[in-house]
Structure 1
Amino acid sequence: MKNSPSKLQQGNFTVEFAIVGVFFALLLVFSADVVVKLAYKGKLERLSYSAASIIKERTEIYGADHFPFEPEKQIGEEATQLYDIVLASLKRTSGNFDAEKFGFQVRMVRENKNVRVPFTQGISCNNSQSLQPLDFVTTFGRRATLYEVTLCYETPSWYGNLIGKEFSRVSSRSVSMGR
């Protein structure tokens, strides 16, 4: 008995369907991975901006914006309180937030120099933008103190696990000028 053309076509269709199915599954995994990363990126962007604004306003309230250069001295308890605020906010807004995968850094910079030792907590954010020179001169010729807040989080990397590469870290950086 000879193979009929319809039987040969059926096998061909199965192979093509499998190839298209694998491609479609990879596309779905990639899309889901991007959605998760964008959601975390948005949360980190809002929180880093809010944190930079909070520390800027606190210095205005306490009247201490023009700090003397003391690069060996830690920023202070304001940074610890700020870390606690950001951490609590992320725990409330993210259902499966893991504090072990979170990184936080606050820098005070004036004339491209650290005014205080940067405050870091959690994982290292390795922010290459953070190494760029930060300097701002006001209209009165005074060098302003800049507050830089960097947040990062290790998100699940479904697509990266499938293709053997790592695309898991999402980060955000905000800079605010002292008042």
Structure 2
Amino acid sequence: MDYYFSPCITNMYQHRYVDFLLEHYTELKLTYPFQEAFSYIVSPLLMEGVSILCFDNEEETAGAFSYIYGTGEHDYTDRHIVQIQVAFIVERHRRTGLFAKALQYLLEHIEADESKEQVTELRFWTACNDYNRRLFEKFAERYAMAENECGQMDGYRVLISELRTYLDRLQTRALV
């Protein structure tokens, strides 16, 4: 199946991004209370971040992801770090290669943004479970663990250069 990505620049796409993620809120399995989770969903729209929708060849929304520049620990001044705020792929589009395509698009989008400081690192948090660890430890280092009233979370980070190497290896395997 073919996919394409669209940054949410217009109000219509921004609404579609928020509506899509709220429609799939329970499937997101975010380990935060709703108010905090909602702030992560909308923060890229309010903080010079980027939100992106993914569409399949039938024009159906297959996924969404977003990121901001900087981390809360450093009051968002460490803009060489991009932090993924939310990433979601609809169940029927998982295990299709869409995840790798989304990572590739994310990397290209970050590298193409000349208005920002050069990004050297990508960070994200996920629910702490074996599935997520198997998936994310293929390309990122687990560097932190945290717990709140909604569960345990793992923090991951990967250098942009290492992510590029990982994606190049995946693409080479796909061609063989």
TM-score > 0.5, shorter chain as reference? no
Q: Which has the higher contact order (CA 8 A, sep 6+)?
A: 1
Q: Name the TM-score, length of structure 2 as normaliser.
A: 0.30
Rg larger for: 1
Considering fraction of residues, name the structure with more strand.
Answer: 2
Considering fraction of residues, name the structure with more helix.
Answer: 1
